[in-house]
Structure 1
Amino acid sequence: MQEEHTPLAATCPRCREQVEPHRFCESCGHDMWLRRGGAARAPGGPCPGCGTPGDNGHGGVDRSGEAYCETCGLRRSDGTEHVEADLGAIAGVSDRGLSHARNEDAMALGLLAAPGAAPVLAAVVCDGVSSVDSPELASRAGADAALERLLHPAAPTMRDAVAAAATAVEALEEVSVRNPPSCTLVAAIVRPDDGITVGWVGDSRAYWLAAPDAVEPARLLTVDHSWAVEMVAAGAMDAATALADPRAHAITRWLGAGGEPRPDVVTLHPACPGLLLICSDGLWNYLPGAVDLAEVALPELARGGPAAVARALTAIALDAGGRDNITVVAVPIGLPEQRRDT
């Protein structure tokens, strides 16, 4: 796990120079107001096969960026099999699961806290398309690019952030001419005065979770860009028939070569406290209902905060079989004065 915890201090944590109380360090440009966490690639450790250290010059890298031990040839761990990021007001877990050889999901979390102002929270979850080459590279590039854009000082739109992610993924086409990396994306940003904005491409999801008697009921906020959903929406099939088809879960939009990176975007102004949850299909394939998710998540939130929610839901997916990579990000929302979604 790689995280940056940037204190609001007079010394820049990157270059150690004394700085004025501004957002950016005048010496190196480091963002003094931003804290980040996520599933960026970590330094390689010892080879799990032969024990060769990861920092002694041994370890080849192929054209896709994969690191291999030059002593025994085994692929090295890149540090993303299980990643936890906890920024206090937002937390997430990304796990390889029990069946995949690597974690092809990625998450990027950010908390932007200007002095004297309520923080802006943002999160991105990307799920690599397993049928392409090096899908994990697409997920990492897309998640990082979208988060950076969401928290840019110019306050861009969600569509701008998704476009930046699409550009970052498309730049990976040289990794594989035949089958370049691609991924899905779901992103959310929570601003104190603008509510919650969610954008997505593909079948990674966002949920609003609340108590059973809440005035803002628990519900799925996104609509999957998948073959089955589009067949039902077009009136060509009923839901049961479409979901039974082998093509049911084939995505119809994605980031990367040949994809349609056009996001759908929704904004929610909650009328009560609750929890924003974004996740990959490694979770919702096992627990798709918003009410069921809320029954697990809200007690965990009360006991241990958003990090406890992400861990508990990841554990449920693993216990149910863990057939896919699992990524879960939880963002508590406690703004009862906000108006209902319009």
Structure 2
Amino acid sequence: MGTDRIETDLEVVAGVTDRGHSHERNEDAMALGLLPDGTVAAVVCDGVSTSLEPQKASRMAADTALDVLLTSTAAAVESVDGAVLAAASAVAALGRAGDPHAPSCTLVCALARPGEITVGWVGDSRAYWLSPPHAAEPARLVTTDHSWAAQMVAAGVLDAAAAMRDPRAHAITRWLGAGGTGEAEVATLRPTSHGALLLCSDGLWNYLPDAAHLAAVALPELADGGPIMAAEALTALALDAGGRDNVTVVVIEGPSR
């Protein structure tokens, strides 16, 4: 029961992780933190259900990555790279070498400083920039899934709709853990107008993958009650749509210059 639903509210960043309606346990994890200078760090991890004890992998990865993000003195990109590498090493240590079923997970993380947000990811947990219509920095998907479907689309073999209908669509091509990688893909945003960064597991984006639609749900709640209300609203959307998977949603209010 302790991890079925967790809500964390640090005012400028907040998150919800929920078991959903179908799974016996919550295999997602999140970790959030703040520094006195206003730096925000956040991590979302999704355990790979075909591995053993994926909830241990996601918890270990989230906590390890957050610790590095909050203590690193390196530049943002190097800090994010180091956080993911440390998380990968920690998850690998949970299993035996060569065991294909050792604990595994995906990861997406963010380090937000005034005027700049750096995102790193491995797998298909996502980051979105959410902003109002016609904003200077339009709402968009920041990450690119490390998945079979994304590979087919990138190669021009299938369009996005056809790729997502295939039973192999969600097969991930990068992960942390057995046979996985510690190499993150990294992107940096420098928003010039108000908005929010969303980190989420596929328990949300399976139901609402479009950035503009996510923004339309989240931003009014953000304006009324801050990131926690936005995270709660997006989680409720996924649960009301079926909640077939664990759902984790973290919202970071966009840093100003």
What range describes the TM-score normalised by the shorter chain of this pair? over 0.9
Equivalent in 166, 178, 186 of residue 245 of structure 1 = 166
| C-alpha separation in 2, matches of 1:198 and 1:178 | 28
Match of 2:11 in 1: 88
| C-alpha separation in 1, matches of 2:142 and 2:132 | 16
**Letter aligned with residue 247 of structure 1:** R
| TM-aligned CA distance change 1:178 to 1:234, over 3 Å | closer
Contact kept, 8 Å, 1:80 with 1:96, in 2: the verdict is yes
Is the partner of 2:93 in helix, strand or coil?
A: helix
Is the partner of 1:151 in helix, strand or coil?
A: helix
| C-alpha separation in 2, matches of 1:151 and 1:215 | 30
| C-alpha separation in 2, matches of 1:305 and 1:203 | 26
* Residue 123 (structure 1) aligned with residue 11 (structure 2): no
1:266 is displaced (CA, Å) by 0.3
Is the partner of 1:185 in helix, strand or coil?
A: strand
Where does structure 2 lack aligned partners over 5 or more consecutive residues? none
Match of 1:159 in 2: 81
Residues 65-84 of structure 1 show CA distances to partners (whole Å, capped at 9, x for unaligned) of xxxxxxxxxxxx4x110000
| TM-aligned CA distance change 1:250 to 1:80, over 3 Å | same
* Residue 104 (structure 1) aligned with residue 23 (structure 2): no
| C-alpha separation in 2, matches of 1:280 and 1:242 | 19
* Residue 230 (structure 1) aligned with residue 151 (structure 2): yes
**Letter aligned with residue 136 of structure 1:** Q
Where does structure 1 lack aligned partners over 5 or more consecutive residues? 1-76, 338-342
Match of 1:5 in 2: none
* Residue 207 (structure 1) aligned with residue 162 (structure 2): no
1:308 is displaced (CA, Å) by 0.4
* Two-structure CA RMSD over aligned residues (Å): 1.6
Is the partner of 2:94 in helix, strand or coil?
A: helix
Residues 214-270 of structure 1 show CA distances to partners (whole Å, capped at 9, x for unaligned) of 111100000100101101211223333322221111100000011133211000000
Moved more, 172-181 or 196-205: 172-181
**Letter aligned with residue 81 of structure 2:** R
Residues 180-223 of structure 1 show CA distances to partners (whole Å, capped at 9, x for unaligned) of 10000000001125x00000000000000011021111000001
Contact kept, 8 Å, 2:72 with 2:79, in 1: the verdict is no
| TM-aligned CA distance change 1:178 to 1:240, over 3 Å | closer
Match of 1:271 in 2: 192
TM-score, normalization: structure 2? 0.95
* Residue 258 (structure 1) aligned with residue 169 (structure 2): no
1:331 is displaced (CA, Å) by 0.6
1:153 is displaced (CA, Å) by 4.5
Contact kept, 8 Å, 1:253 with 1:261, in 2: the verdict is no
Contact kept, 8 Å, 1:146 with 1:162, in 2: the verdict is yes
Contact kept, 8 Å, 1:127 with 1:204, in 2: the verdict is yes
| C-alpha separation in 2, matches of 1:178 and 1:260 | 13
Higher Cα radius of gyration:
1
Q: How many positions carry a matched residue from both structures?
A: 254
| C-alpha separation in 2, matches of 1:201 and 1:153 | 20
Contact kept, 8 Å, 1:272 with 1:334, in 2: the verdict is no
Contact kept, 8 Å, 2:112 with 2:255, in 1: the verdict is no
| C-alpha separation in 2, matches of 1:250 and 1:111 | 34
| C-alpha separation in 1, matches of 2:124 and 2:105 | 10
RCO higher in structure (CA 8 A, sep ≥6)? 2
